[in-house]
Amino acid sequence: MADYTIKAGDAGSVIEAVLKENAAEVDLTGASVRFLMSDAQYGASKVNAPATIVTAAAGAVAYDWQPGDLDTAGGFLAEFEVTFADGSIATFPSAGYVEIRVIGDLN
């Protein structure tokens, strides 16, 4: 079962997450975040774009779906890549991926 399910073409909605390490929220003060999504079957990159830091101290992030992001039905794997102020990089979730299922429209 997917962590997040959405209909194809439904750009305008948001995927949100709280980034955690060892069950504690990651402080994103001074950091930048990218949302990465690839086709689960073939590994082809679908999205590599900036995400929004909603609440830095609480590790809350969001990505606003853009036109074209959800134009293909199927299974996808996603993650948030954080670049901290000191230049270090960490990827969340650190184990596994966010599983996304894009289901087709009826028309």
- Local structure of 36: helix, strand or coil: strand
End-to-end CA gap in the chain: 24
Domains of the chain: 4-103 (2.60.40.10)
Mind listing the pLDDT tens digit for each residue in 63-97?
999 999 999 999 999 999 999 999 999 999 998 99
H/E element holding 28? none
pLDDT bracket for residue 12 (50, 70, 90): confident
pLDDT in tens, 36-49: 999 988 888 999 99
Model confidence band, residue 107 (pLDDT cutoffs 50, 70, 90): low
Across the range 1-10, mean pLDDT stands at 87
CA distance 28 to 57: 6
Contacts of residue 96, defined as CB under 8 A and 6 or more positions apart, other chains included, come to none
